[in-house]
Amino acid sequence: MQQKVNVRVDGERPIGTISPRLYGHFAEHLGRCCYDGLWAGDHFRPDVLQALREMPTPFLRWPGGCYADHYHWRDGIGPTRPTRLGMSCGLQVEDDNSLGTHEFLEFCEQIGAASYLAGNMGSGSVQEMCDWVEYCNTSVNTTLKQERESNGRLEPFGVKVWGVGNENWGCGGNYSPETYGLEYRRYATMLRDVDHSAEWVVCGQVKDWNERVLETLKGHLELVSHFSIHQYWTRGGPGRDFTEAQYYELLKEADETENFVVETRALIEGVAQGKRKIGIALDEWGVWHPEARGWGPDSCEIKGHNYEQACTLRDALAANAALEGFHRQCNSLSMCNLAQIVNVLHAPIRTEGDKMWLTPTYHVLHMHKPHFWAEALPVEIDGEMVSATASSKSGRTAVTVMNRHFKESAQVRLSLPGEPIRFELLASESAADENGPDAPERVRIQPIAATKDGNDWVIELPKHSVVTIQT
């Protein structure tokens, strides 16, 4: 039976601005994400670079993840680089450091991304991280600035966002929240003197850790710009052979991400009391299927996984559900970074040898481009299985509507200000459909027809699909 649903965009009560940083990404030296996926030994893969530019990729976090708390930045600069044990999430690789600070930051410039570097608080020191900030950002004529110049970069890189460790409750040193909070104070106090304009990210986790870290930082909140939380979805069963119930469970879990943001905002406000604006950095999010779970949520076994998993239409719908929540929480969230950018976990791009293909999640992200820098708008919907998000910018409106039903299409009657000029649909016969090296366009963006009825537009949305309409 087809559902009939009315969707009304409320142009009168804007929620806030949707920063492109909510569409950030995460590149870790883990499995085939950086080495092989992005970096081909001495250059970035041109096909991947072009696809990232077009996605687009406004913001990119590097080099980890757990890798960050092992990483020594000096290994990745200059003409002679040591080969080290590359370590993250139980994997050990021979890491020749050919992809280092200059390569990464220049890559960001080429794809139009602002950069976010995560510093080492596990095996590093305050001085090491201060030196990295100085090396990247100073215009004062110091020895580190001269070294940067002799390595080919005259202008400061101007890296704005710096993570002070990563998951320091676990892989980043197994700190207690109080010890981490005190260490954070020491790091951030020194770092801030190196670059007054940079933004510092403190590491959060679940409620108890967050409360205790915030308690330790109370009185020093001027040292904190962003509060990091991570959310991986693990309840959706297998990546490909999932049931209808597991399909809905994954979407539910994606929706719940918003609750985590709201809960974290309340904790921060309880301490900041309106005196300091601290953004929530959801700097790792996405699906983590059991096939890729040798290490990570709900597992501590290391089975030699490479962290690669199926990337189906269902995962793209889950990403879209989360993005709806990000728009509603755009005043609380200061950044979101999908994990990870190529090949690993919830990747928008996959590669195999010379072949590259875009996953359904890439297409959903691309369809959200009109929402960048727009004002998020409330949407009223009178049906359970359809959800939507809308925004307006320079007098133009964009609405992304999702039919979540596993089996049934939906007739959506849309009332919005202005005349639509563009309709884009992401759909496929099965929610388990995906792209691959031999079928790179099985799931792709297609045009969709709509009919005008009075002042409304009527669209027939296929089962488990997403459409973006732009005026």
- Active site members: 167, 284
Residues in Cβ contact with 374 at an 8 Å cutoff, skipping those fewer than 6 apart: 17, 18, 391, 392, 393, 398
Q: CA distances (Å), 445 to each of 52, 251, 358, 365, 466, in order?
A: 17, 21, 11, 11, 9
Q: How far is the CB of 60 from ligand AHR (least distance, A)?
A: 14
User: Which is nearer to ligand AHR, 88 or 387 (by Cβ)?
Assistant: 88
| 279 is a site residue for ligand AHR (CB under 6 A) | no
The correct pick among 58, 63, 64, 90 for binding ligand AHR (CB under 6 A) is: 64
The correct pick among 19, 166, 228, 332 for binding ligand AHR (CB under 6 A) is: 166
Report CA 388 to chain centroid distance, whole Å. Answer: 20
Task: List the 379-381 sheet strands across, edge first.
Answer: 379-381, 3-9, 410-415, 456-461, 450-453
| 167 is a site residue for ligand AHR (CB under 6 A) | yes
- Per-residue H/E/C for 386-446: EEEEEEEECCEEEEEEEECCCCCCEEEEEECCCCCCEEEEEECCCCCCECECCECCCCEEE
The correct pick among 88, 115, 210, 216 for binding ligand AHR (CB under 6 A) is: 88
Compute the distance between CA of residue 222 and CA of residue 229 in angstroms, rounded to an integer: 19
User: Which is nearer to ligand AHR, 263 or 298 (by Cβ)?
Assistant: 298
The correct pick among 51, 66, 254, 386 for binding ligand AHR (CB under 6 A) is: 66
| 296 is a site residue for ligand AHR (CB under 6 A) | yes
| 399 is a site residue for ligand AHR (CB under 6 A) | no
Site string for ligand AHR, 343-362 (x = CB under 6 A): --x-----------------
The correct pick among 89, 198, 333, 388 for binding ligand AHR (CB under 6 A) is: 89
Q: CB under 6 A: which stretch of 205-213, 338-346, 408-416, 460-468 binds ligand AHR?
A: 338-346
Q: Where are the beta strands (DSSP E) in 36-143?
A: 59-62, 84-88, 91-95, 114-119
What value, to the nearest 5°, has the Cα angle with vertex 325 and ends 171 and 238? 60
Contact 399, 451 (CB under 8 A): no
Q: CB under 6 A: which stretch of 3-11, 60-68, 69-77, 237-245 binds ligand AHR?
A: 60-68
The correct pick among 22, 339, 445, 448 for binding ligand AHR (CB under 6 A) is: 339
Q: How far is the CB of 259 from ligand AHR (least distance, A)?
A: 20
96, burial (CB in 10 Å: exposed 0-12, middle 13-18, buried 19+):
middle
Whose tokens are 């409330």? That residue is 378
Q: How far is the CB of 164 from ligand AHR (least distance, A)?
A: 14
Residues 28-57 close enough to bind ligand AHR by CB under 6 A: 28, 30
The correct pick among 258, 284, 324, 434 for binding ligand AHR (CB under 6 A) is: 284
Which residues of the chain form contacts with ligand AHR (CB under 6 A)?
Answer: 28, 30, 64-66, 88-89, 166-167, 284, 296, 339-340, 345
